[in-house]
């Protein structure tokens, strides 16, 4: 199994809603990532978890709250978002957060629209 699975594929939420994005991998990877991708732009790193601990937060606003319940799961909790937060949110995983980089495997993404 070489997949990273993200749910839901599409999400529409109001600015007062609370929602969560979910990501799952069964490749035994110990690093997991959240990226944000705006239309016609490259992905931008938001968070890195290494061995279930948050190791990088790229100065992301607190309305985005990541969680790594175990080595296979990664969540992104959303609260009080703004319309400009509408984007494709990509989850990725790799063998380790540190060490010789081998690249990351990406999920299909969640297309988020904030209304």
Partner 1 sequence: AQSVTQLGSHVSVSEGALVLLRCNYSSSVPPYLFWYVQYPNQGLQLLLKYTSAATLVKGINGFEAEFKKSETSFHLTKPSAHMSDAAEYFCAVSESGYNKLIFGAGTRLAVHP
CA pair distance 59, 7, nearest whole angstrom? 24
CA pair distance 46, 107, nearest whole angstrom? 15
Instruction: Using CB under 8 A, list all residues that contact partner 1.
Output: 4, 6, 31, 33, 40-45, 48, 56, 90, 92, 94-109, 111
CB of 85 to partner 1, least distance (A): 19
CB of 11 to partner 1, least distance (A): 14
Can you name the residues that pair with 2 across neighbouring β-strands? none
Nearer to partner 1 (CB atom), residue 14 or residue 101: 101
> Residue holding tokens 């009080």?
80
Nearer to partner 1 (CB atom), residue 16 or residue 100: 100
CA pair distance 5, 70, nearest whole angstrom? 15
Nearer to partner 1 (CB atom), residue 40 or residue 53: 40
Closest CA to 112 of 23, 16, 9: 9
CB of 40 to partner 1, least distance (A): 8
């Amino acid at each position: 199994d070489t997949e990273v699975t993200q749910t839901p594929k599409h999400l529409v939420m109001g600015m007062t809603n609370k929602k969560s994005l979910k990501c799952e991998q069964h490749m035994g990877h110990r690093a997991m990532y959240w990226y944000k991708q705006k239309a016609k732009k490259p992905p931008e790193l938001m968070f890195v978890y290494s061995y279930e601990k948050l190791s990088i937060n790229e100065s992301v606003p607190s309305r985005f709250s990541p969680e790594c319940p175990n080595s296979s799961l990664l969540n992104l909790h959303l609260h009080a978002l703004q319309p400009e937060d509408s984007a494709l949110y990509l989850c990725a995983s790799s063998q380790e957060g540190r060490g010789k980089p081998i690249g990351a495997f990406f999920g299909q993404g969640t297309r988020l629209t904030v209304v």
